[in-house]
């Protein structure tokens, strides 16, 4: 009988507090399936919650130990009663337990089958773990902004986990996309079909105007400074929750429509994103895959805030 290694925190703080916990395999309840996890993505929210920051940390502070991880791919190895959506050995992708339960940093996990999408045959387990949270954030931010063909869209952080997907969707929607990144990522972001802007170039904002939509994936002063690129009445979707109220307030003071957001898991949208990948219409960049034993290094990498695309944990022994 295999045992289950889970990565947990017993208290909030530095990455070194991530610990390993062994347990027996969980048993799926009614409407759940037991998944053998192949890959789990590491998202900034995992890192912030581990550090004790933000909404999920506030709501989990009396619920420790807590296992991070909202994005998983893997195979169904057991069905709970009444569970009919999947067959044994089906490979699935899930945006699970958001925002409180999480738990994807596990080798085995029971998940309500409603949180899982069947993987198309021709996509990799790596891509299926990378897409759920970042892909749905990108899609929902652009939906919220109601982007229209020919509009000028400025995306702050076009090379990141959310940004590289948002850039591709906005380009496919026939908008004129500008995206900020460091000089190391200029060629990569241009290759996604955007016009890349090096955010380290002093005063870059002075060279871009009449922007219709700002998708802010950085927050704080970076977002406030980018407001000077907008035309009157522009829409601003600011995604980092910690600074969203100040960015929205400044945006409305300047006559723009400022909107914060919290991504909502949506299984139909996840299935659509998986099919876009399968059809070759969306390319997922995975910068690095860490063995789960190196979770501390994976968290440090995401914490630095310069990943190109996604960072994954390989949860297989």
Ligand X SMILES: NC(=O)c1ccc[n+]([C@@H]2O[C@H](COP(=O)([O-])OP(=O)(O)OC[C@H]3O[C@@H](n4cnc5c(N)ncnc54)[C@H](OP(=O)(O)O)[C@@H]3O)[C@@H](O)[C@H]2O)c1
Give the nearest distance from C-beta 151 to ligand X in angstroms. Answer: 20
Stretch that binds ligand X, among 21-29, 110-118, 123-131, 174-182 (CB under 6 A): 174-182
For residue 164, give the nearest of 261, 272, 283 by alpha carbon. Answer: 283
| Residue 37 near ligand X by CB under 6 A | no
Alpha carbon distance 190, 197 (integer Å): 9
For residue 11, give the nearest of 53, 64, 58 by alpha carbon. Answer: 64
Tokens of 22: 């062994």
| Residue 313 near ligand X by CB under 6 A | no
Do strands 310-314 and 32-42 pair parallel, antiparallel, or not at all (unpaired)?
A: antiparallel
| Residue 160 near ligand X by CB under 6 A | yes
Instruction: Determine the residue with CB nearest ligand X.
Output: 160
| Residue 137 near ligand X by CB under 6 A | yes
Residues 6+ apart with CB under 8 A from 279: none
Contacts 24+ apart (CB under 8 A), 21-26: 21/65, 21/67, 25/1, 25/108, 26/108, 26/109, 26/110
How big is the site for ligand X, counted in residues (CB under 6 A)?
32
Q: DSSP label at 11?
A: S
| Residue 4 near ligand X by CB under 6 A | no
Binder among 196, 218, 227, 229 for ligand X (CB under 6 A): 218
| Residue 240 near ligand X by CB under 6 A | yes
| Residue 307 near ligand X by CB under 6 A | yes
Residue 220 · residue 241 · CB < 8 Å: no
275 vs 306 by CB, closer to ligand X: 306
33 vs 313 by CB, closer to ligand X: 313
Tokens of 219: 């927050």
| Residue 168 near ligand X by CB under 6 A | no
| Residue 265 near ligand X by CB under 6 A | no
Beta strands in 63-202 (DSSP E): 71-79, 91-95, 108-112, 116-118, 152-156, 176-181, 195-198
Give the nearest distance from C-beta 137 to ligand X in angstroms. Answer: 4
116 vs 259 by CB, closer to ligand X: 259
| Residue 181 near ligand X by CB under 6 A | yes
| Residue 129 near ligand X by CB under 6 A | no
Give the nearest distance from C-beta 160 to ligand X in angstroms. Answer: 3
Binder among 15, 37, 45, 76 for ligand X (CB under 6 A): 45
Tokens of 146: 């109601």
> Which residues would be at the binding site for ligand X (CB under 6 A)?
43-45, 134, 137, 156-157, 159-163, 180-182, 184-185, 199, 217-218, 222, 239-241, 261-263, 302, 305-308
């Amino acid at each position: 009988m295999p045992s289950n290694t889970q990565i947990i925190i017993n208290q909030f703080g530095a990455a070194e507090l991530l610990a390993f916990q062994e347990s027996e395999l969980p048993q799926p309840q009614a409407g759940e399936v037991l998944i053998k996890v192949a890959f789990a993505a590491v998202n900034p929210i995992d890192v912030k919650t581990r550090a004790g920051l933000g909404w999920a940390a506030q709501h989990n502070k009396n619920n420790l130990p807590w296992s991070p991880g909202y994005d998983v791919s893997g195979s169904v190895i057991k069905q709970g009663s009444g569970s009919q959506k999947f067959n044994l050995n089906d490979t699935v992708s899930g945006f699970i337990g958001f925002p409180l339960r999480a738990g994807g940093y596990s080798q085995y996990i029971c998940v309500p089958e409603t949180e899982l999408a069947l993987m198309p045959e021709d996509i990799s387990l790596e891509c299926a773990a990378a897409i759920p949270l970042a892909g749905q954030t990108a899609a929902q931010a652009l939906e919220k902004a109601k982007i229209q063909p020919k509009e000028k869209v400025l995306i702050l952080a076009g090379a990141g986990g959310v940004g590289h997907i948002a850039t591709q969707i906005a380009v496919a929607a026939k908008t004129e996309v500008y995206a900020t990144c460091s000089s190391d990522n200029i060629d990569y972001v241009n290759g996604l079909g955007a016009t890349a802007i090096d955010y380290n170039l002093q005063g870059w904002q002075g060279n871009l105007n009449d922007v219709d939509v700002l998708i802010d994936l950085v927050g704080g002063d970076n977002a406030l400074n980018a407001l000077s690129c907008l035309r009157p009445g522009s829409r601003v979707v600011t995604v980092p929750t910690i600074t969203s109220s100040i960015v929205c307030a400044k945006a409305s003071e300047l006559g723009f429509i400022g909107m914060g957001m919290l991504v909502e898991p949506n299984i139909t949208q996840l299935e659509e994103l998986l099919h876009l990948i399968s059809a070759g219409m969306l390319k997922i960049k995975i910068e690095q895959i860490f063995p789960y034993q190196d979770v501390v290094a994976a968290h440090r990498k995401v914490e630095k805030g310069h990943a190109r695309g996604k960072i994954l944990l390989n949860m297989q022994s």
